[in-house]
Amino acid sequence: MPPIPDDEWLSAAVLGGGLPPDVHHHLSAAAQSYDVEEVAERHLRQARLLAPWHAATLIALYRFYFYKGRLKDALDIARLCLAKAAQDNKLPADWRQVVATDADFGRFDAPLPRFFLFTLKGYAYLHMRMGGLDEGLAAVLKLLELDPSDKVGAQVLLNVIQRMGEDDHD
């Protein structure tokens, strides 16, 4: 399960709201042709060309790559989402420099900080899946620093990292 926001976010005005009709068409066509990878990806790329920094196009690409098992491509999109989330929240470009007082990370109903947190979680998860445990751990620890009440569920990822290498004797 990719930890990037659900569909209700895509219509939120704060994340760009109202997709142009042609972008919406391409995203819908991509969903309808999901089983034909080349066709779906062509529609997603066209949507991205038309609305390159709209959260909906980035999230759709991320999900497509993730579910198709194209984790490196998903990570590339996660990095773009992080850049967008940092810019939209007026945060430092490097997520390592973000501190808890930079945004209202404690409010789960604050869409922009929530987008940043979920994007960082996706970034951490992908690094973990691809063997980048140090980078994944750093991102998870940053999540827990920014969101100490763990509304985004970073503790689960930390538990996975901590259990790695332990023998299972149950």
List, for residues 114-158, the tens digit of each pLDDT value.
Answer: 999 999 999 999 999 999 999 999 999 999 999 999 999 999 999
pLDDT mean over 101-122: 91
pLDDT at 110 over 80: yes
pLDDT for position 107: 85
Q: How far apart are CA 78 and CA 143, in angstroms?
A: 15
- The one-letter amino acid code at 58 reads L
Q: For the chain, what percent of residues have pLDDT higher than 70?
A: 86
Q: How far apart are CA 114 and CA 131, in angstroms?
A: 26
Average pLDDT, the chain: 88
pLDDT for position 105: 94
**No. of H helices and E strands in the chain?**
7, 0
pLDDT mean over 35-64: 95
Q: pLDDT confidence of 7, banded at 50, 70, 90?
A: very low
Cβ–Cβ < 8 Å for 57, 41: no
Instruction: Tell me the domains of the chain and their CATH numbers.
Output: 7-161 (1.25.40.10)
SS3 158: helix
List, for residues 11-25, the tens digit of each pLDDT value.
Answer: 454 454 678 889 989
Cβ–Cβ < 8 Å for 31, 39: no
List, for residues 64-78, the tens digit of each pLDDT value.
Answer: 999 999 999 999 999
DSSP structure string for 54-105: -HHHHHHHHHHHHHTT-HHHHHHHHHHHHHHHHHHTT--SSGGG--GGGTTT
Among 27, 31, 2, smallest CA distance to 16 is for 27
Pairwise pLDDT comparison (4 vs 103), residue with the higher score: 103
Cβ–Cβ < 8 Å for 48, 27: no
